[in-house]
Amino acid sequence: MLRGIAVAAVIAAVGSAPAFATCVRPNEEAALTARILQTELMVAALACGQQSQYNAFVIKFRDDLVSHGHALKSLFKRVHGAQADRRLATFVTRLANDASVKSREVANFCSEAFTFFTTAMETASADLEKLAETHNASVDHGFAVCTAELISSRTAVSE
């Protein structure tokens, strides 16, 4: 009975975020971060007339973007099972909507995007993850990253 109350308290404190149900592994974190970057750059291409820069970015980092796309699909399948495709579509739509809001609200959005595209073209094609980490994303992906502490606490709650 006490264990049930403790579990309920932890769930209530954390909320219904998928982060409590599962944490993301490093490759999944990289995939989430890359998708946020790609989405914000796609919005910049459309909002700022920077389609050629976006196309060059996608071509340069194509292999990593495809690999991260597969990891993202696997993550959503692992976390959401049969709901994976719908949940992934909702997630990507949220990213695009958030980036669109940022494009309208941030005064220097287009100049920052142009600068970032320039930096991306100067970055080695194998360094997409490092590039994505330097990007000032407008959103958090909403998943907890697996750490020893999180894994221990999840194990303790499930015992």
Residue 55: what pLDDT?
97
- Reported as type and span, the H/E element at residue 140 is none
Residue 129: what pLDDT?
87
Taking alpha carbons only, the member of 61, 62, 22 closest to residue 142 is: 22
Please tell me the distance from the alpha carbon of residue 89 to that of residue 104, in angstroms, as a whole number: 23
Q: What angle do CA 91, 133, 155 make, to 5 degrees?
A: 65
Q: What angle do CA 57, 40, 79 make, to 5 degrees?
A: 105
Q: Does the pTM of the predicted model rise above 0.95?
A: no
Please tell me the distance from the alpha carbon of residue 138 to that of residue 78, in angstroms, as a whole number: 26
Give me the tens of pLDDT residue by residue for the chain, a chain 159 residues long: 433 333 333 333 333 444 345 788 888 988 999 999 999 999 999 999 999 999 999 999 999 999 999 999 999 999 999 999 999 999 999 999 999 998 999 889 999 999 999 999 998 888 888 888 887 665 577 788 887 555 455 444 444
Please tell me the distance from the alpha carbon of residue 30 to that of residue 143, in angstroms, as a whole number: 12
Please tell me the distance from the alpha carbon of residue 125 to that of residue 136, in angstroms, as a whole number: 19
End-to-end CA, the chain: 13
Those residues whose C-beta lies under 8 Å from the C-beta of residue 26, and which sit 6 or more positions away, are 145, 146
Please tell me the distance from the alpha carbon of residue 5 to that of residue 128, in angstroms, as a whole number: 44
Residue 24: what pLDDT?
87
Longest dimension (CA), the chain: 61
- Reported as type and span, the H/E element at residue 21 is helix 18-21
Treating both helix axes as pointing N-terminal to C-terminal, what angle do 84-105 and 62-80 enclose, rounded to 10 degrees?
Answer: 120
